Structure 1
Amino acid sequence: MLGLSGIGVLLAYTLSIGAALLCVVYGVKNWNVPADDVVSREVAEEKTWEQHEPDNDGEEL
């Protein structure tokens, strides 16, 4: 049955499938989470942009 000649083969199949499922769960959980250095760089860039932003030339928001 499925080439299961011993408990070791069954254990290998089970652990392989379990590891694959764990990788999928980890990937889905961290799909669009940026790294910390990217976030801090973007925050610093936005602060710099806000400091050097030209006035709205009298336009109302």
Structure 2
Amino acid sequence: MFFGIPDFWIALVYLLCIGSTILCVVYGLVNWNKGMDKEDEEISEAQTWAEEERHVEEKL
């Protein structure tokens, strides 16, 4: 009997659920703000594209 659960497989499922939750939280904390470096570059590219689009529309 493991934590009051008579079946080993049910206890294993509970432990694996808790373990996967912990791993997901750790993964989220490690990768919290990754990709923020590219955000400024993407914003400037979008602004450049919008300016070029305005110039093309003005010429039409």
TM-score (norm 1): 0.53
More helix by share: 2
Structure 1, unpaired ranges of 5+: 49-61
- Report sequence identity in percent: 37
- What CA deviation, in whole Å up to 9, does each residue of 1:4-55 have, x standing for no partner? 121111111110010000001001001111268636525757xx6xxxxxxx
Instruction: Report how many residues are paired.
Output: 47
Q: 2:22 matched to which residue of 1?
A: 21
Q: Which amino acid is 2:14 matched to?
A: Y
| CA root-mean-square deviation | 3.0
Gaps of 5+ in 2: 49-60
